[in-house]
Amino acid sequence: MKLVVNPGKKLATINKNIYGHFSEHLGRCIYEGLYVGEDSEIENIGGIRVDVLEALKKIKLPVLRWPGGCFADEYHWKDGIGPKENRKKMINTHWGGVVEDNSFGTHEFMRLCELIGCEPYINGNVGSGTVQEMSEWVEYMTFDGLSPMAQLREENGHKEPWAVKYFGVGNENWGCGGNMRPEYYADLYRRFSTYVRNYGDNKVYKIACGANNFDYNWTDVVMKIAGRFMDGLSLHYYTVPGESWQNKGSATVFSDEDYYTTLKKTLLMEEILTKHSSIMDKYDPDKRVGLLVDEWGTWYDVEEGTNPGFLYQQNTMRDALVAGINLNIFNKHADRVQMANIAQLVNVLQAIILTEGEKMILTPTYHVFDMFASHQDNTLLESQVFNKMVGTEDNQIPNVVESASVNEEGQIIITLCHTDLSTDIMMDIELLDTQVQSVTGQYVSGASSAHNTFENPDLVVKEEVKEFKILGNHIEVAMAPCSVLQLTISPKE
Ligand code: AHR
């Protein structure tokens, strides 16, 4: 199988935020997954669990979205500040009907981001909130000086303002965020975002609620009416292998047909991005407004015996392929896609980490993020793979999906997903006009349903590639069925 990379053709900067994540007050993502409270026996810093924190730092997590999701348009931020014993308790009606005690709020989230070393991406409430409430949240977080909200922040123990760059004005306002029409939302966006102020040096990157998967009309209308008031427009697309939301399919028990269906559906991301981008081009030919895929990933039936409102699912090599394919697609759309946030960080949907009490495991998707982190902030290179179609009669997909970039040191990073379940392949990688000095590589592979469990946490791990053949400007490397590979190539001076 041949891949040609042209290091002479530099296309766009790959915004590191493409490797972003999403954490919602949903199931065991925030509580248990990230935050266990200061009195927990699980090692923590200010209530944030240390094992998860270390794992997140390792993959250079660049940006984290919070507090939702659907929860964002029901969240009233003032419930989550001040002494914990005074914070309002409420029912999380959207997700599982459990008690939300608001012990994780703005201060705890900001602390989490500081500890990870990532940018916060706050999603405000349009659906059930007010302009004043949203405006005051931004003032509370970012105003440096004398103001009621800055004073309140100081009373709550944080004199210094935080830097908040990314702010979302509503979430899924076509659905759980208020069932609005695009015309209505676009006008509301203009109104709410007017009062999302820049204080001092803090310059907010304002994000409008974008479309659900194939809803191109939403993008068209919102761009037409409100495009010039926004910096980013979101987009949500989930990979749901089953026929319906009632029958989405199992995360771990599936046929080869299901596997290829899943990957075929995930590959639709290419078409979805191309079409939304071309609509945005109509109103924003200079690509000033970023497209932010701030929810993506697989969505299966929940694990048996778990709360259906918690969206807890296992994560297999199939998910590793889904992650790798999407990240390669995002890289290739780096001219327009400025952020992506897989849903969700811990214990929810396509999580990179699962926890059970004090135990934590890394999923195959985690290892893909670990390998692909080497693309962050690189320059995308032109590349083309001469692949063949594989799969079943009804689900034909390309056998290799790739992207390539160059980092500041001049090293070339290539990531490859091999989708075929039955055959090994030998990749012949040609670098145009570039002689290879040395190469290192890492990969994950396994049966499509292979996954890590709390009993067997290391069934799927990242491994080093041991054998390469280097011939001038060619590298030969083998790929196992159902595998994801990352290469770092140092060219000759
Ligand atoms: O990620 C789970 C949910 O999916 C989010 O809350 C919502 O935005 C989307 O429908």
Tens digits of residue pLDDT in 144-174 = 999 999 999 999 999 999 999 999 999 999 9
pLDDT of residue 192: 98
Backbone dihedral region for residue 300 (phi beyond 0: left; psi -120 to 50: alpha; all else: beta)? beta
pLDDT at 19 over 90: yes
Which residues are CB-neighbours of 39 under 8 A, at least 6 positions away?
none
Active site residue 100: no
- Given a cut of 90, whether residue 59 has pLDDT beyond it is yes
| C-alpha 218, offset from chain centre | 22
pLDDT at 35 over 90: yes
pTM beyond cutoff 0.95: yes
Atom of ligand 1 nearest to the CA of 177: 8
Q: Which residues contact 340 (CB under 8 A, 6 or more apart)?
A: 17, 18, 19, 20, 292, 293, 294, 296, 326, 327, 330
Mean pLDDT, range 366-383, rounded to an integer: 98
Nearest residue (CA) to ligand 1, atom 6:
69
Of all protein residues, whose CA lies closest to atom 9 belonging to ligand 1?
A: 69
Ligand 1 centroid – CA 150 distance (Å) = 31
- CA-CA distance, 440 to 177, in Å (whole number)? 46
Mean pLDDT of the chain: 98
Using CA positions, which residue lies closest to atom 5 of ligand 1?
Answer: 69
Examine the residue annotation and report whether 108 is marked as an active-site residue of this protein.
no
Residue 445 pLDDT > 90, yes or no? yes
Is residue 29 in contact with ligand 1, taking CB distance under 6 Å? no
Buried/exposed code over 170-193 (b: 16+ C-beta within 10 A; e: otherwise)? bbbbbebbbebebeebbebbbebb
Residue 493 has pLDDT above 90, yes or no: no
> Residues with Cβ < 8 Å from 194, sequence gap 6 or more?
229
Report the separation in Å between the CA atom of 30 and the middle of ligand 1, taken as the mean of its atom positions.
Answer: 14
Q: Which of 108, 172, 382, 430 is catalytic?
A: 172
State the closest ligand 1 atom to the C-alpha of 172, by its place in the atom list counted from 1: 8
d(Cα 191, Cα 317) in Å, to the nearest integer? 45
Cβ atoms of residues 142 and 200 within 8 Å: yes
Q: How remote is the CA of residue 87 from the centroid of ligand 1, in Å?
A: 25
Q: What does the block give as tokens for 157? A: 């123990």
Residues in the chain, overall count: 493
User: What is the mean predicted confidence (pLDDT) over 447-462?
Assistant: 98
Nearest CA to ligand 1 atom 8: 69
